[in-house]
């Protein structure tokens, strides 16, 4: 190996020092990534999906109401992804969006998502129609604000 291609110990130390300083300086800015604004087409998609979900709400059938909650939850999750919030699950993405969502709306989404989890994980859940509709409207509040 030639002398030019060989990095000296001093060069490695100095390079490592500056990489460390850069890492420390950039650390507070890691979470400040700008969130993507939805395009007109994406907003139209949300509106169309909301209208489909509202048709399910107009029926007093328990199965339709449960389906409406699941679809609204999926739509919010899709919107979170489109806005650039990262995470493996809906909960991870919602936590990533917490600072950008008003506290009351954020808490409402969590309550609605818990209803969704009851539907999916508890086959014998005794959710009333009003609770299911309320969950959908909580999801809609967020969707109307993005």
To the question of domain 40-145 being in CATH 3.40.50, the answer is: no
- Dist. CA 68–CA 58, nearest whole Å: 10
Q: What is the pLDDT of residue 11?
A: 86
The pLDDT assigned to 1 comes to: 47
117: left (phi over 0), alpha (psi -120 to 50) or beta: alpha
In sequence order, the 6+-apart residues with CB closer than 8 A to the CB of 105 are 141, 142, 145
Q: Where are the domains of the chain?
A: 40-145
Q: Is 84 left (phi over 0), alpha (psi -120 to 50) or beta?
A: left
Determine the Cα–Cα distance for residues 122 and 130; give it in Å rounded to an integer: 18
Q: What is the separation of C-alpha 68 from the centre of its chain, rounded to a whole number of angstroms?
A: 19
Residue position matching structure tokens 């998609």: 45
Strand extents, DSSP E, 20-122 = none
Q: Give the predicted TM-score (pTM) of the model.
A: 0.76
Continuous segment of H or E residues that includes residue 24: helix 9-26
How confident is the model at residue 19, as a pLDDT? 87
pLDDT given at position 17 = 85
The pLDDT tens digits for 80-89 are 999 999 999 9
Total residue count of the chain as it appears in this document: 146
Please tell me the predicted confidence (pLDDT) of residue 24.
Answer: 76
Contact 66, 59 (CB under 8 A): no
**Intervals of the chain under pLDDT 70:** 1-5, 27-34
């Amino acid at each position: 190996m030639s002398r030019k291609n060989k990095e000296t110990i001093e060069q490695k130390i100095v390079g490592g020092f500056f990489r460390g300083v850069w890492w420390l300086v950039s650390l507070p800015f890691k979470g400040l990534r700008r969130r993507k604004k939805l395009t007109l087409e994406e907003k139209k998609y949300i509106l169309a999906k909301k209208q489909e979900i509202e048709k399910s709400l107009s029926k007093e059938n328990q199965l339709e109401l449960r389906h409406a909650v699941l679809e609204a939850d999926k739509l919010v999750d899709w919107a979170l992804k489109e806005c650039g919030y990262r995470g493996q699950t809906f909960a991870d993405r919602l936590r990533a969006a917490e600072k950008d969502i008003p506290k009351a709306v954020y808490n409402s989404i969590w309550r609605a998502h818990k209803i969704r989890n009851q539907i999916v994980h508890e086959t014998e859940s005794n959710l009333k129609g009003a609770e299911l509709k309320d969950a959908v409207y909580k999801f809609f509040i967020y969707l109307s604000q993005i």
